[in-house]
Structure 1
């Protein structure tokens, strides 16, 4: 389907519903189960939508989180990866940790989405060390 008003309306509805359901569906799940929201292969029903449009729509959709406030980057990263993949792009979802937080009661972690090696949804934070990269050219999640 070519980019047009109907495709964009379907995309926005799907994105909105996914953003609302995801916090409930990933709660208390293992890392592997959470990554199922970022499929490595998928159909491409939104092929034709430009990546800047997808990212802008994502940012509008998730700007006021009701749930997952403390894991905002995870929500944005999973949705960004998923919908870029559904549009036929080849994104990678990257995860990093702050080494200074390793001994703290709560580890500081972050995720972001890159397209062609450039961050498009969030970005690495200062002091973060990339530890995982979820990308289609790997058969499984691979260490960075």
Structure 2
């Protein structure tokens, strides 16, 4: 389907609903279960949408979190990864921890999404050590 008003409206509705359901799906789940929310094999109903449009809409949709306030990057990352995949792109979802928090009672973690090795949803923070990368397939990012 070519980029157009109907595709964009369908995309925005799907993204909005997914952003509202995601906190329930992530609640009290372990890391492996959370990664199942970022599948590598997805249909591509949003092929034709530019990656820059998808990223901008994801950021706009989660800009004022009522839930998952302390895990905003996870919400953005999962949604960004998923919807970029559904547009036919090949994103990587990166996870890192703050090395200084390793000896603290609570670990400080962060996630971000990259296309062709460049951050597009969030970015690595200073002192973050990457611990896992959830790879995409073989589709290359198209120009926005």
Which residue of 2 is the match for residue 142 of structure 1? none
User: Is 1:90 the counterpart of 2:87 in the alignment?
Assistant: no
1:97-112 to 2 correspondences below 5 Å = 97-112=97-112
Which residue of 2 is the match for residue 40 of structure 1? 40
User: Is 1:78 the counterpart of 2:78 in the alignment?
Assistant: yes
* Structure 2 alignment gaps of length 5 or more: 138-144
* TM-score, normalising length: structure 2: 0.93
Q: Deviations over 1:65-84 (max 9, x none)?
A: 01000001000000000000
After TM superposition, the runs of 4+ consecutive aligned structure 1 residues lying more than 4 A away are none
Which one scores higher on RCO, CA 8 angstroms, separation ≥ 6?
2
CA displacement at 1:37 relative to structure 2: 1.4
Which residue of 1 is the match for residue 56 of structure 2? 56
Which residue of 2 is the match for residue 3 of structure 1? 3
Q: Deviations over 1:46-95 (max 9, x none)?
A: 00000000001111100000100000100000000000000000000000
* TM-score, normalising length: structure 1: 0.93
In the aligned structure 2, how far is the partner of 1:92 from the partner of 1:41? 13
Equivalences, count: 137
